[in-house]
Structure 1
């Protein structure tokens, strides 16, 4: 594809999503499937490699164009959640020390890509402006700028109006969940990670998916038994990078979390899509599990790594009066680099080469894909 065609594709995606955001859809049938506004949206990994940061540093809009084509897709939900894979700590070097402001979004010292990430804190406002409401900060790169980096990341997110789950600042109470009101229900989000890449979690700032201080099942059970909380969503950072299927450890934690009371489980880390399944608990609840939504944005260019999904869920009550997650569906996404706009993520169906990503997503996630208008296409 030529650069001029890429630029036109970017503008086309923006215009189409802006138009679709104004369209009011109606239910499609008695099964409850609809293209009405979902309660929840989940994006995958926000993984800002050096290329993406360099792109942002060249334009006054910073990171905003990277997310502009999917902003309407996230705004469709009452609450949207993404995984911010890496710190957003202002002016912190690889030695975990504060340095002079480099005066740019990317300099290779304070702000770096792989293998130890750190993003300019402007990413927080870009995510908020793209209609993100909650950020997962527990992941294997959470300590890439040490304890200070965790503190400053949470500060940057808070200043942008974004609550975070999965990490805590030094000297604060160990409250691992955040809550949001969704369709009149109080929903708790809990994030955890399987690893911090061998960086020491000496201040216990990052919640361990497989640890016991607290254990994830016990934490979920405590929240489930809290009268003021109606639902618990687990956001685990787990699994094997680039693996197309969940491993046994993921499956065990998913079942344990479901038995403890989790309403839904939405995973991250593999950087490729993994299947969506429904677990049945001993008490008869149906709990959807999305093992991995892949990359929301990165500069990894193979088809499985540039293809992601935005997961949509609704909340309802079952016959026993318990809050459950229903109407699982997803929007396939694709990452491209556009002339004059840099790397951006778009609904795959709006891109000239997006058919390959739509087909890949359907092959992994199965039916119940939605189009850019939010309506089921299957």
Structure 2
């Protein structure tokens, strides 16, 4: 403890006060960066099932100058054109009349199918299916050249290996989507040696690599899978297993086809907690098949929202919606809700499609 004498001594030992005669220094401070603004955009994605052009369908579309399939889509055109992006599973190659049109079991369809799809709002077609190789490489090359000519994007079958490596991307409202397509097989027709680009097969490691590349280029990855058992209304174990593979690999949306009948919608959850939207089968959208649910298909629609804040980005999939459709006698696609005679079937289809996703709504 200090006493008073000590305190005085301490005071006396202090250095004399220094006068500050220097110029005041300017203190530079770094400007405070403003908080990055959050930008939110969204888009609507729609998908339809199988476009399976039997002879009964193309014969009905015959005109004096060729073929016109626009009438087939008259009643559903608005549902296809209003979404920001619409995709379809083109199950038959549109090789054109020069190669000779053909129906089941080995299909080749008119070029004009492509014209109608474009005119009615389809932006991209998936081409990997069990009928891709039906009429060989010539039909594929003719079809792909025509899709390029009319500026409709395709995926799942390609002109060259370089074409195959070019992952298909569509950008709308500052959101980029990538599109991949694979099939379980090709009806026993072998893929020509050295020409794997002609059709993408469901090969797990290939799918994982493709999704990994697609995720680098896009905000949302859409994978079309041609799988399942024909005419079965519920997915089988193979479908469920492949869906899990795609989900774990980072696929965001899975669109299924091949059964030719509707299978339910589902959310699949990956081990990291992320969710994948799955439409196991969208049935036949346009075909010559009749009865036992084979003349019923639909349009599924989903909202994609992107929130960007600086380098941070989140993607949300929401508001799944469905329009059950019916192909009538003249092969015109009709919304089932507009057909009073099908009210009972319509209600049954709604129950079937939403059994795993109660929040699924319908265009009504």
TM-score band, normalised by shorter chain: 0.7 to 0.9
Q: Within 2, Cα distance between the matches of 1:116 and 1:92?
A: 16
Give the TM-score normalised by the residue count of structure 2: 0.81
Q: Pick from 209, 221, 232: which aligns with 1:218?
A: 209
Question: Considering only CA atoms, is the larger Rg found in Structure 1 or Structure 2?
Answer: 2
2:287 corresponding residue in structure 1: 298
1:148 corresponding residue in structure 2: 138
Change (3 A) 1:369 1:332: farther
Q: Pick from 150, 161, 164: which aligns with 1:160?
A: 150
What are the superposed Cα offsets for residues 298-334 of structure 1, whole Å, 9 maximum, x if unpaired?
Answer: 1222141111110001112489833232211111111
Q: Within 2, Cα distance between the matches of 1:354 and 1:134?
A: 31
Q: Within 1, Cα distance between the matches of 2:161 and 2:254?
A: 29
Unaligned runs of 5+ in 2: 1-41
Secondary structure class of the residue paired with 1:39: strand
Higher strand share: 2
1:350 corresponding residue in structure 2: 338
Contact 2:97 2:109 in 1 (8 A): no
Change (3 A) 1:90 1:298: closer
Alpha-carbon shift at residue 362 of structure 1 (Å) = 1.0
Alpha-carbon shift at residue 346 of structure 1 (Å) = 1.5
2:49 corresponding residue in structure 1: 44
Q: Within 1, Cα distance between the matches of 2:258 and 2:190?
A: 19
Q: Pick from 55, 63, 78: which aligns with 2:60?
A: 55
Secondary structure class of the residue paired with 1:296: strand
Q: Within 2, Cα distance between the matches of 1:184 and 1:84?
A: 27
1:370 aligns with 2:362: yes
Secondary structure class of the residue paired with 2:289: coil
Q: Within 1, Cα distance between the matches of 2:72 and 2:226?
A: 23
Mean Cα deviation higher: 60-69 or 151-160: 60-69
Change (3 A) 1:59 1:309: farther
After superposition, residues 71-86 of structure 1 pair within 5 angstroms as: 71-86=77-92
Q: Pick from 309, 314, 330: which aligns with 1:322?
A: 314
Q: Pick from 190, 202, 209: which aligns with 1:200?
A: 190
2:7 corresponding residue in structure 1: none
Unaligned runs of 5+ in 1: 1-36, 94-109, 372-376
Q: May I ask how many residue pairs the two structures share in their alignment? A: 312
1:133 aligns with 2:139: no
Change (3 A) 1:183 1:91: same
What are the superposed Cα offsets for residues 162-212 of structure 1, whole Å, 9 maximum, x if unpaired?
Answer: 100000014644326311013311100101111111112111110011364
